[in-house]
Every structure is written in structure tokens, then in C-alpha cells.
Amino acid sequence: MAKYILKRFIMMIATILIISTLTFVLMHSIPGSPFDEERTSNPTIQANLEKFYKLDEPMHVQYLYYLKSIVTFDFGPSIKKPNESVNELLARGFPISFELGMVTILVALLSGTILGTLAALRHNGIIDYLAMTFAVVGISVPNFVLATLLIQQVAVTWELLPAATWSSPLHMILPILALATGPTAIIARLTRSSMLEVLTQDYIKMANAKGLSPIRIVIRHALRNALMPVVTIMGTMLAGILTGTFVIEKIFAIPGMGKYFVESINNRDYPVIMGSTVFYSAFLVFMLFLVDIVYGFLDPRIKLHRKEGDA
Amino acid sequence: MVNERKKKEKKMMSSEKVLQVNNLKISFRTYGGEVEAVRGVDFDLYKGETLAIVGESGCGKSVTSNAIMGLIPQPPGIIKNGSILFKEKDLTKLSKTQLRKIQGVDISMIFQDPMTALNPTLTIGEQLTEGLRTHKKIGKKEAKEKAIDMLKLVGIPNPEERLKQFPHQFSGGMRQRIVIAIALICEPQVLIADEPTTALDVTIQAQILELFEEIQLKKGISIILITHDLGVVAKIADRIAVMYAGKIVEIGDKREIFYTPEHPYTKGLLNSVPRLDLMEEELQPIDGTPPDLFSPPKGCPFTARCDYAMEVCDYAYPFSTKISETHEVDCWLQDERANVLQAQNKIG
Ligand SMILES: Nc1ncnc2c1ncn2[C@@H]1O[C@H](COP(=O)(O)OP(=O)(O)OP(=O)(O)O)[C@@H](O)[C@H]1O
Ligand code: SF4
Ligand SMILES: [Mg+2]
């Protein structure tokens, strides 16, 4: 176990390094510089600013400074808002994005598995058809379209829920709905098909032959096995949801990381771009790592633990 | 050897019926039509005996045993007729909740493939004790002790540590022992074993069969053993039921079936088995295939493959004839008029 974790940890570091380097290269290959818009500023001020942000140095030196800032996790101040450090921006935006992403994934997991399981248990019944219709629609409608529709209908026409911002649980409902529908649909479909397969397995027949209650059979014997494929896609799904939050944050005017991230790219605010990308990718890679551990925990056949003697 | 004979002598056989299957008919609705999988099966199971059900693939052995176990999926399955009497209750008429009080408690089942019969994500301990704890309402500790006893009984060393392990940490033979332990933990009166040794290699097979005998001796349970393997039957069965196309065509004591088979199909089955004492004779697999169960023939289903078929065989199913107190066969050859006919056939 420890060896496995160490290996994964080293891979994690390598991944983050690669992503950061790519970010650096991409960032500097986008035309334009942070000071393009400031036509008023005179050349001396601009030169001073560039010096302050080390933009006058050659690329490879900048890269080294960049690596140093990653290791120390200190990206310095933002270029656009010089009185705020990148770390402060992250500390303000990330918790909100995190909350949105985590609640979304929880909602999607819970409702997706319940929906998929019910559909499988009522195979070819009404619940099954309804759930699968929902799934097809849910998978095909992009979340930003859904978000606009929800704002239009629920918030504007019916005036049931607030249309924007992130100030109370009530405000959270629409963005989460918009963001969770797609993943819910995917999880529901996956759970249904894998549940249908699991239900034909011998060990389910054996559980029936033991005279166990149907509820126990589904929850104790079937669900855990049926959820394996769901866990395997959790990693990519998580990535999708967490990046999806950027768009949703923009639409619902939620002051999460997405907001700063999008602004920073538009402004070529290099420190913010670098800081948020590195931080975000580190977070994602770490989540994927967690998913792997959870998978090993769910499926005892995965050799996370030390080898034990076979009989 | 001596030991073995002693075992056999000690074996309790009584005339007490634990299970009575009467005229059981089961069909499955499929897209292609209705499959008549079991078409009127009758047999009794006595206390402490091993009844073997043999027959070609698809003849309805598993459907029959699943019906006793209450495991016919409905739909597509339909129990069209008949009864399965156990303790004065007709199992075919019980609700699912009532059935659950019998499944795993009074009647248990062992499945063919030990590699797939155990849940890969639950420990052996949990799979062993969950039935016990559901049905007998006993505490965790007591259940664990019972589980350890069971593992000892089926011959698994270090039971205490083994309880915490998962199925993938056991070999095939070990897993089948665990499956047997699970089936026996509630001390059932009837054990149904659907090809319990088919998936195992020969040496392990022998061990498992010995285990069956030992357990039967200790617990006095009745076993329904379903198998293709007449070698297995010869070793541990007391009585044999021969199934063909959804019917039991011949039933009798092991000796009666092996030494004086009456049904042409039974004879064919026995001829298709290699025998050490008849080296020089060639094996004769039965020609042809069983009838289509979507539209089974109204006469004897074996007609198309039978060397002795007569005109009557084609349009009427034969009556059941009692050869002895224990031996019954469904074949027109038993009709007194047939002798004349067959004699004529031979001359002609
Ligand atoms: N769920 C089902 N749906 C449709 N047909 C079925 C179903 N279960 C069994 N049958 C049919 O019932 C018939 C008898 O099957 P059964 O499994 O009892 O055969 P068997 O004697 O156990 O054969 P084998 O030796 O191969 O296990 C077969 O023709 C099979 O196709
Ligand atoms: S009834 Fe006729 S066809 Fe059937 S086994 Fe007897 S002789 Fe053969
Ligand atoms: Mg079978």
C-alpha cells in the first residue's frame, strides 16, 4: 500500500510539472502582454513594471522563476490587481468553486446511482423508460444551455429561485442543477447497465437462494459491484465537473475561481494564470489519486494491499 | 475401503418423504414462443437419501431444481401446473416473503461454478453468516463461532483467519467447500447440488464428493444431485431419476438403473459411458438430438431416436409402469401388447 501510494505520488508530481510547463509555454505563445490595454502608461513605467514582474528576463530565466514560484507556492501579486496576491485570489475563489463542484458531484452520484438502480430493478418498466429518457436528454443538453433555460424559466418567468450569485443555499440550487444533470445522466446509465449485468451473476442467485431480503441483496450484494464502473469514470467526470464550474460560475455570476481564471486569461495576467492552473491541476490530479484509492478499497481484488498467501 | 462400506451401511435411509414434486410443469415465455422446459415431473425425496437427476443438456434438470429452490424468474418463467410439497406446504403457492423463510434455511442450493458463486467484494465471513443472522436472529459472535465450525466441517484450515479473507484468496476447490459451508450453515433438510463438481478438476471432485457423503452421514440431510457425470452418480447416489425432454422417463434405485435399465434412453446413456469392465465394447453415443421444447411431441419424446419405437409411441405418451416398488419407467415397451409387436419386428 505504502509503496503504491509513493509511486502514485511521484507520478502526481511529474504530471503537475508537465502541466505547469505546458501552461507556461502556451501562456507565452498567446499574442499580447499584460500591459497592452494600458495605452496611457508611458514607456518608463512599463519598463519598470516589466522589470518588477521579471518579464524583461529571457524565457528560460522566467521559466526558472516560474518553477520556483510553484515549489514555494508563491506566485506574487496579480498584475491587474497589484494590491492582491495570487494566493489571496485563490483563497477567495477556490472554496466557492470547490463547494459548487463537490455538491454537484455528490448530487450526481446519489441521484445517478438511485435512478440507475431503480431503472435496472424495474427493467423495461415505466421507471426504466422515464429514467433513460431523462438520461438521454441529460447527456445531450450542454450545461450552459441548461443553465440559461433554468434561469429563464425558474428564475425569471416563475420567479421561484434566485437567478444569480452564491449567497444562500437557495442560490445554489440552479447552478448545481445545471451542472449536475449531465453527470447524473451518465452515472444513471452506467449504473443501470452494470446493475443489470450484476443482477444476472451467480452470486446474486446464491444470495437469493439464501433467502435474503431483496433490499439487502441490492444494497449489500449488487450495488457495490455495480458501482465499480462508475468509480472508474469518476476521475474524468470530476475533471469535467470542476472545469464545468468555470462556465457555470460565469453564467450565474458566482465569484469562484472560474471568474478569476477567465479574467486572468483575457488580461494576460501571467501570475494569476500560472497560479490558478497549477493549483487547479494539482487539485485535479490529487482527486484522481483519491478515486484510485477508493476503487482499491471497493474492490478487494485490486492489489493495493500487500500480497497474501493464496490457498 | 472397509471404512467406506461401513459408511454406506450406517447411512440412514427412511421412508419419510421430505419433499414431494407432483406433475410439475414449467414454461418460459420467450420471443420465439413458449419453451416447455419441464413437462410434468413427479418424484419424492426421502429423508437422508441422495437422489441423482441425470439427463442430457437442456432436459430441464436445472429448471426443476430452481423451482424447488423458488428461483424461477417470473416472468419469463411460469409454473403452469403441479405442486412441490415441503412440510405440508406447497412451495409453488407461497408468497416471496414466505418462501424466504424456507430458502437457505430448510432447502439450500450449491451452484455449479464456485468461481462465480461467491460475491467478490464481501468477506467469506460475511457471506457465511448473513443467512444465519437473517434467519436465526443470532448475534455476531455466535454466528462467527458457527461459521468457524462450518469451515472446519468442510475442511478449511485456519478458519478464523480465513473468515476475514475474500473469495479471490481461495482456490476453486476451496471456494466450492465454502459454498457448501454456506449452504449448510442453517442446517437445511434438503440440499440441492446442481453440478457441484463439474467445474472442478478430477482430484478435487473426488474430495468434494467425499465431503458430501461425510456431511450426509453427520447431518442426515437429503440431497438432490444434478449431474451429467454417471461416475459421480455411481459413487454417491442412492436413487437415480433419468430426465428426458422435460420429463422423468425412468426412476429407480441406483442398482436398478445401472444393472436393469428399462428405458431405451437410459440404456443409451449407460452405453455412452466408458466402463472399465467392458473394455472391448465400443462406446455408443445416442444418435440424434432431443426434441424442440417449443413444440414438444405429444407422444414419447424419444421416438425419433429410439431403436424400438412403435406406432403408438408417436401419438401417445406412455403410461408409467412400476417394475418394482422403487423402479418406474415411462415406455410403451412395458405394455404387454408391445412384446408381441417387438417379437414380430425382430422376425420381420
Ligand atoms: N430463463 C429462461 N428463459 C428461457 N428459457 C429457459 C430459461 N431457463 C431455462 N430455459 C430453457 O429450459 C430448458 C431446460 O433448461 P435447464 O437449464 O433446466 O437444462 P439442464 O437440464 O439443466 O441442462 P444443462 O445440463 O445444460 O445444465 C432449456 O431448453 C432452456 O433453454
Ligand atoms: S415409448 Fe416408444 S419411443 Fe419411447 S422409449 Fe419406449 S419404445 Fe422408445
Ligand atoms: Mg443445468
Provide the residue ranges of all domains of chain A, joining segments of one domain with +: 20-72, 91-255
B71 touching A (Cβ < 8 Å):
yes
Q: Which residue has the higher pLDDT, A80 or B213?
A: B213
pLDDT of the residue at B212: 84
Q: Kindly state the cell numbers that stand for A208.
A: 437469493
* Burial (Cβ within 10 Å: 0-12, 13-18, ≥19) of residue B282: exposed
pLDDT digits (tens, 9 = 90+) for B302-324: 988 888 888 888 888 998 888 88
B98 touching A (Cβ < 8 Å):
no
B199-234: burial string, b at 16+ Cβ within 10 Å, e else:
bbeeebbebbbebbbebbeeeebbbbbbbebbebbe
CATH fold group of domain A91-255: MetI-like fold (1.10.3720)
Residue of A121, A197, A203 to mutate, testing the B interface (most B Cβ within 10 Å of its Cβ): A203
Secondary structure class of B193 (helix, strand, coil): strand
pLDDT of the residue at A42: 72
pLDDT of the residue at B64: 94
Atom of ligand 2 lying closest to residue B300 CA: 4
Which span out of A46-55, A112-121, A231-240, A299-308 was modeled with the highest average pLDDT? Answer: A112-121
CA distance B62 to chain A (A): 13
pLDDT digits (tens, 9 = 90+) for A129-177: 999 999 999 989 988 899 899 888 888 888 888 877 788 888 888 999 9
For chain B, give the mean pLDDT.
85
What pLDDT band is residue B344 in, cutting at 50, 70 and 90?
low
pLDDT digits (tens, 9 = 90+) for A103-136: 999 999 999 999 999 999 988 889 999 999 999 9
Q: What angle do CA B54, B56, B62 make, to 5 degrees?
A: 65
- Work out the average pLDDT over A268-296: 82
What pLDDT band is residue B275 in, cutting at 50, 70 and 90?
low
pTM: 0.80
How many residue pairs bridge chain A and chain B with CB atoms within 8 Å of each other? 83
**Residues forming a β-bridge with A96:** none
**Residues forming a β-bridge with B330:** B320
pLDDT of the residue at B345: 57
- Work out the average pLDDT over B248-260: 92
- Say if residue A46's pLDDT is above 80: no
pLDDT of the residue at B19: 92
Share of chain A above pLDDT 90, in %: 26
Q: Is the ipTM of this complex over 0.95?
A: no
Query: Which of A202, A212, A301 minimises the CB distance to B130?
Result: A212
pLDDT of the residue at B63: 93
Q: Kindly state the cell numbers that stand for B293.
A: 421444447
- Say if residue B232's pLDDT is above 90: no
